[in-house]
Structure 1
């Protein structure tokens, strides 16, 4: 940067100069008018008292006039300099906001703006810092989502392309088993895309202030969800016990059904051991808790928070045949967050309990 540009960058901006000039005119006008008023009043009073000769009266008037001008000039200069300094200090956060905005426009995430006051300017800086942080988090989530999508779709698409090319070249012959396998792979990709659409919808819903909640009896709702798995439970010879006391909740009905169905599907898919899968409801202080418990493998404590992240699966191989798409629990968490509740898991040696809460209000 040249010396000229460095000097220019250090000079106050036009807004500060204009504000200072306006203040100078206002202060100077007020002081001059006040000084002249005081001068004329003092001269009039001295003349009315009549205690001075004409020559001494003129000398008094001249001396008073000189002192008033000294006072006026001193007050104007001091007041203007003090105003300039205070204004410069006041708008410093605004300059920082402008520089940060320029950095953001270039695609860089600036450092947080220093908050030096608790007034409106300070509040603006606080909100701006929160905005930058949110944008940064959104960008990181977007990059992670793109990376996860790339990873999730690469393997099945590679398999499909490989088999289709081999069929085209005549290297292999099409069989019913092969076509069924390719069809299942295609359905899995389609299902994953549908889950991504659901996740996007709930992401959007979480950012809105409106709601489509209505009063629903939770016992009836859970019973309807459980009935959908009767055939699957009978085929695998798994017992299901439902104990959900009646309670009317103001909830998003389809979303809550999706949570319960997802937890039941996981409990059946990961069933490993003996005993029934249970669905238990309980009224607590300000929330209603629903827990789905079933025999399955132990989930380490460090993994219990991560399983609600998108595309996260416990198995290191990330095999979809074992771990699903890794989106079901993420969707459930989005729906629970939309209701203002909580979701979590408690894991024991041979039993896992997934629970979530729904506020009464």
Structure 2
């Protein structure tokens, strides 16, 4: 419609200009008008045709990614993970497709982590349960006679199971809290909190004859007190359980610009470089037999990582030397 009106306007204008030319007679003017009209008809047909082709192409290009998204969501609804939706442009629909692909990828990662967690839990619980069932069955059948050492061993396995279940509950709770927009933090002086954590291990340190040195600066920080106490306790327990050597365990707390850094160092067998990130995974152990002897479940560092990075938006890591390991925590002030 617009093309027809525009063409007709051009035609009338041309006719008007032609009529103004005094040298042209009526016959020549009519011939000119007819020729011009034919050209305009051809032009309008061409414009309409190519305009329709372009319109069809643009509509198809706009509708195709939307149809792909609809098809993909239907497949996802059926419980299948679809292939990534192809991104044609960087416009709004392209951005939507990118976000959708990211969502699918995250859902797959979450399912893999969930499946791995279930597998790990089954594996970790199966061993102590098998031990308990085996000993109890042997006691029941009279194949072995219970003594103090045996009952102590059974009690240790039972305690390890209880601790593992408790830590799984803690991990689930911190996962949930980290996902919430509202966090329960208060401003506390960090020095007495660290000293209180050390006091909890004084008896163990004395029994194992392990010296400890403290270098703690005062600083007020917004923290979840129970969470920080749990992290420091986990790191101190690791330093004690894996202590090898004659030097002291060193706990340092210091202000560094806009952060507060807490580090716990102790003489021990160095952790290989490729294992540094793995030690923070759930159920991961460098030495499984030793961890079971000390009651470790492989969850303490995973909980610590969730508390520091997930809840406090801080950092946690490890540095090693040839004769010591240093676990450190950085909290924003």
Partner of residue 139 from structure 1, selected from 111, 123, 127: 111
Aligned to 2:96: 124
State how many pairs are aligned. 331
Partner of residue 194 from structure 2, selected from 218, 222, 245: 222
Query: What is the CA distance between 1:316 and its match in structure 2?
Result: 5.3
Aligned to 1:281: 253
**Residue ranges of structure 2 left out of the alignment (5+ in a row):** none
Deviations 1:90-143 (A, max 9, x none): 444334434443454454444443433222122112212222221222122112
The 1:325–1:302 alpha-carbon spacing in structure 2 relative to 1, beyond 3 Å, is: same
Aligned to 1:203: 175
* Cα distance in 2 between the residues matched to 1:275 and 1:323: 24
* Cα distance in 2 between the residues matched to 1:175 and 1:298: 38
Aligned to 1:246: 218
Partner of residue 305 from structure 2, selected from 318, 333, 341: 333
Aligned to 2:332: 359
Matched, 1:346 2:293: no
* Cα distance in 1 between the residues matched to 2:30 and 2:301: 95
Deviations 1:217-262 (A, max 9, x none): 1112111211111222222222222211011112222211111111
* Cα distance in 2 between the residues matched to 1:147 and 1:175: 34
* Cα distance in 1 between the residues matched to 2:263 and 2:290: 26
Q: Is the 8 A contact 1:314 1:323 kept in 2?
A: no
The 1:322–1:229 alpha-carbon spacing in structure 2 relative to 1, beyond 3 Å, is: closer
Give the TM-score normalised by the residue count of structure 2: 0.85
Give the TM-score normalised by the residue count of structure 1: 0.79
Q: Is the 8 A contact 1:315 1:323 kept in 2?
A: no
Describe the SS at the equivalent of 2:325: strand
The 1:325–1:58 alpha-carbon spacing in structure 2 relative to 1, beyond 3 Å, is: same
Aligned to 2:203: 231
Describe the SS at the equivalent of 1:144: helix
Q: Higher relative contact order at CA 8 Å, sep ≥6: structure 1 or structure 2?
A: 2
CA root-mean-square deviation: 3.0
